[in-house]
Structure 1
């Protein structure tokens, strides 16, 4: 039994010795990270540099892509170091910083998807009043709502966890996880549990309610509207629904991984399930929006063609 302590470091117990495959795993992960950075940066630059894309929907998408960069940076550099390392430990301050980064990433992601669903609801259900309802001031306020409350809620969660007296330092994950560290606490964690319930109502149930309400209204308009309205709804909502479902799957994997006994699942599959949420969502969002949003696709294609022509001239 380890004495009660706040802990100076944690041991990540989910890693194993990959032997000769270490550098193969490293190359796969670094390639994935570079691709995620490149495609999300490209989309951010395209939206920021083209005035035709300075519309609410694209500004909310830009916020989403910025969050993908933020979440990826909170995981991938750390993961790459751990793959190459023989000793899988992490200092307590960095561990809590990573918890803050990944949990705030997930919270902002969900809030951002809720705001996009609200924007699509206004565009489809109230097209004539859309620009009157979605003013530049309102867009700015919604972007603040996307980022500020999740950061504040996760900051308090992280501080509460960091203040716990711990009776262990082994985290059975490949990155720092708030739930696993709370499980190491020596004493009652009811304050943490009560606060997390309150925080969940703010950053989970509130966005979920917005998404549910807006899509019920969109479906109602689709069933009663014209063919053109249905086509518009399908073309603009399909990427958002795909992103939302992928996010939900990733969140479910994370809950299953941390809350239930997964000993019967192969170890490599456990690692994949734990990494699905912070790795696949940044890649999936960039691809699904980049390929499906016609304005973004056309501008990206023209930029790439221009770059190829300039390269050929030189």
Structure 2
């Protein structure tokens, strides 16, 4: 409930959390397991790409950045969420709230911009294969990644700045994490500037990338229709993981955006939790599984590393056994 004064509160309170008694330890264990899985799965892909020289190619570098972004977004949400599950009070300071808001919003924007860059990479590789190496040079890859990373950092930072200046008439957030629109709704003054900034961010980071990805895959589909079955198979092998990742994230983001525009006071808290967790859990788990299991280059390197690690202890045991026999 909003207070009558316009003093900006020094903290916010999450109202969705309930007292589940001893069940909260079960929820905590489950969420901790999910967080550890996200860290492990994405870290394996990042290390595989970084340590294997044969994977130092544009497509795998973009996949590595996608997994790094999953680690970034998860770090901005899970530590605080795990604390709230076990805590009896669900209060977050203003600074911590805006910090979490910034991390989660940049995670969303980075995911979309990186997926857009990956779509461009696949478009050039399939539709213009003769010019791929001249267009996707190391310098071009760095420029694309810099644009994909720096643009969300700047535009989300500007949006957070506008929100931080608003005088607020309340401090209750009917969410499980801090989001920009839920804070803006607490404002005591007109928020037309924030609404315009939010629409600009939505257009430039959601709708334009969506249209561009649809355009690139329409062109890829037209090229594949005129090509041999072998070419279509190779194109599908490299494009399918990206399509699955993009569709999964777009659906999860659509659920979150729909939730932010509804009156959360009238929605079942369980529905709020499920829709909020979807885009923070499904894509970070889906990305390493899709790319790790479907791309033979990454899968082959991972399996080879596992075999090497299994063979090393056996080789060490044989060496020690021979040395012992020589001493005898």
Aligned to 1:130: 132
> Are the aligned partners of 1:222 and 1:230 in contact in 2 as well (CA < 8 Å)?
yes
- Considering only CA atoms, is the larger Rg found in Structure 1 or Structure 2? 2
Deviation at 1:260, TM superposition (A): 2.1
- Could you say which residue in structure 2 is the equivalent of 1:73? 75
* Equivalent runs, 1:29-108 vs 2, <5 Å: 29-108=31-110
C-alpha distance in structure 2 between counterparts of 1:149 and 1:284, whole Å? 25
Partner of 2:325: none
| Aligned residue-pair number | 314
Contact 1:6–1:162 at 8 Å: present in 2 too? no
Tell me which of 179, 182, 206 is aligned to 1:204. Answer: 206
TM-score after normalising by structure 1? 0.96
The answer to whether the 8 A contact 2:175-2:272 is kept is no
Given that 1:124 and 1:229 are in contact with CA atoms closer than 8 Å, whether structure 2 keeps it comes out as no
Q: Residue in 2 aligned with 1:120? A: 122
**Matched ranges for 1:8-19 at <5 A:** 8-19=10-21
Aligned-partner Cα distance in 2 for 1:52–1:84: 45
> TM-score, length-normalised on structure 2?
0.92
Work out the CA distance in 1 between the residues paired with 2:312 and 2:162.
54
Q: 1:161 matched to which residue of 2? A: 163
In structure 2, what is the Cα distance between the partners aligned to 1:265 and 1:301?
46
Deviation at 1:264, TM superposition (A): 7.2
Q: Distance in 1 between matches of 2:191 and 2:262?
A: 19
Residue 30 of structure 2 is matched in structure 1 by: 28
Unaligned stretches of 5+ residues in structure 1: none
CA distance in 2, matches of 1:68, 1:215: 24
Pair 262,169 (structure 1): closer, same or farther in 2 beyond 3 Å: closer
- Aligned partner of 2:305 in structure 1 is 303
Check the 8 A contact 1:6/1:163 in 2, yes or no: no
User: CA offsets per residue over residues 81-131 of structure 1, 9 Å max, x none?
Assistant: 111110001000010001100000000000000110110011111111110
Kindly state the Cα deviation for residue 35 of structure 1 after the two structures are TM-superposed: 1.0
Q: Match for 2:179 among 152, 163, 177?
A: 177
Farther-moved stretch of structure 1 (104-113 vs 257-266):
257-266
Runs of 4+ displaced beyond 6 Å: none
Residues 243-254 of structure 1 aligned to structure 2 (within 5 Å): 243-254=245-256
Contact in 2 for aligned 1:124/1:232 (Cα 8 Å) = no
Displacement of 1:248: 1.1
| Structure 1: distance between partners of 2:78 and 2:313 | 31
